[in-house]
Amino acid sequence: MRQFFDFIMKGLSRKSLLLVCILCLPSFLLVGQQYNRIRADFSIKVRTSSGGQSLTLGQIFYDKNNKQIIYYISFPEREIWLTADTMIYQIRNDKLVTKTATFAIAEFTVFHLALNSRLQDFGLRNTQYTIGDVSREADLVITTWSPPEKTRQTLGNILVSVKNKQLFGVIFQNPQGVVIRKQFFEEYLVTNGLSFPGRIVEINTIEGRDSYQVTTYKNIVVDEMGNDNKYFYNISGLHF
C-alpha cells in the first residue's frame, strides 16, 4: 500500500512538474526576449517657427553593446553622423568634419529603449525623476514624472502616456507647467516581436511659436546577423 502511494506521489509530482514547466516556458521566453541590434531607413523633416526647413534621409544602425548610433546619411550630403558617449562626430570621406558635445546619450534614445523593451516609460524609470501621479483617461494611461526637489526651479514635469501598452506621447513642461515640447509615437511596426514607432511627431514651443519635426522609420531590421562593420565605427583613427 505504501509503495503504491509513493508511486502515485512520484507520478503526480513528475506530471505536475512537467505541467508547470510547460506552462511557464512561454512566459520565461517572453520576459527573457532581449534584442541587440536595430537598423532602419529614416527621414527627418524639420520646419522651424521662422520658416526654415531641412530634410535628412539615410539609414541608422545601432548595436546596444557598442552604444554607437551611426547615421549613414544620403541626403542632403553623403556623410556619417555618429554618436558615441557624449560626443557627436560628423564624418565625411572618412575625415572628421565636426565633433560636438551632447547631453543626449545612446541609453536614452528610442533605439536603446525599444531594444530593452523600456520604451513605455521613456527611460525615466532609470533617472532621478519620480512618479507623481498616474491616471487613466479614455484609452490613455498618463504618468506624471516629477524632477528631483532641488532641480524644480529649472526642470518641469514630464507627462508620459501609454496607449494599448505602447508609448503614445510625451509632454515636457517648464517649471511653471507650460508645455514646451510634445512628442507623439505613432504607426508602430512590429519586427521579430519588437515594437518600434514608425513615425515620431515632435512639436517644440518657444515663446508661443511652434517648430515641427517629423521622423519616420521604415524597413526596420532587428538583430541583423551580417553587416557587422556598419554597427561599429572606429573613432580612434579619426582626424580633422
Partner 1 sequence: MPKTLTWRTFALFFVFFPFFFDEIALYNFFHNFSQINVLITYPMRKLLILCSLLLLIGVSRSMASQADLFHYDAVTVENQMAQLNQLEGYVMENPGITLGEMTTNGNTLASLVSDPNGISGFNLTNEKTFGIPGFFWGCVLGPFGVAVVYFVGKDKAETKMAIIGCVTVSVLSIGLSVISTILQARL
- Report the residue number, 48 or 116, with the smaller CB distance to partner 1: 48
The H or E element containing residue 16 is: helix 2-31
Note whether 135 binds partner 1 by CB under 8 A.
yes
Note whether 43 binds partner 1 by CB under 8 A.
yes
Note whether 124 binds partner 1 by CB under 8 A.
no
The H or E element containing residue 30 is: helix 2-31
The H or E element containing residue 37 is: strand 37-47
Choosing from 81, 129, 217, 231, the residue that interacts with partner 1 (CB under 8 A) is: 81
- Report the residue number, 124 or 203, with the smaller CB distance to partner 1: 203
C-alpha grid cell for residue 229?
Answer: 562593420
Contact letters for partner 1, residues 140-179 (x by CB under 8 A): x-x----------------x-x------xx-x-------x
d(CA 126, CA 103): 16
d(CA 124, CA 143): 11
Q: Which stretch binds partner 1 (CB under 8 A): 51-59, 148-156, 217-225, 226-234?
A: 51-59
- Report the residue number, 135 or 227, with the smaller CB distance to partner 1: 135
Size of the site for partner 1 (CB under 8 A): 52
d(CA 90, CA 101): 12
d(CA 217, CA 7): 60
d(CA 236, CA 240): 12
Contact letters for partner 1, residues 6-35 (x by CB under 8 A): ------------------------------
Dihedral in degrees, nearest 10, Cα atoms 164, 177, 105, 183:
40
180 Cα distance to chain centroid:
21
Choosing from 4, 77, 93, 150, the residue that interacts with partner 1 (CB under 8 A) is: 77
d(CA 214, CA 63): 24
Minimum distance from residue 52 beta carbon to partner 1 (Å):
4
Beta strand 68-75 with 37-47 is: unpaired
Choosing from 107, 127, 166, 184, the residue that interacts with partner 1 (CB under 8 A) is: 184
Identify how many contiguous H helices and E strands the chain contains and give both numbers: 2, 13
Minimum distance from residue 177 beta carbon to partner 1 (Å):
11
Choosing from 137, 165, 226, 229, the residue that interacts with partner 1 (CB under 8 A) is: 137
> Which residues contact partner 1 by CB under 8 A?
43-48, 51-57, 71, 73-78, 81, 83, 87-88, 90, 98-104, 135, 137-138, 140, 142, 159, 161, 168-169, 171, 179, 182, 184, 201-203, 212-214, 240
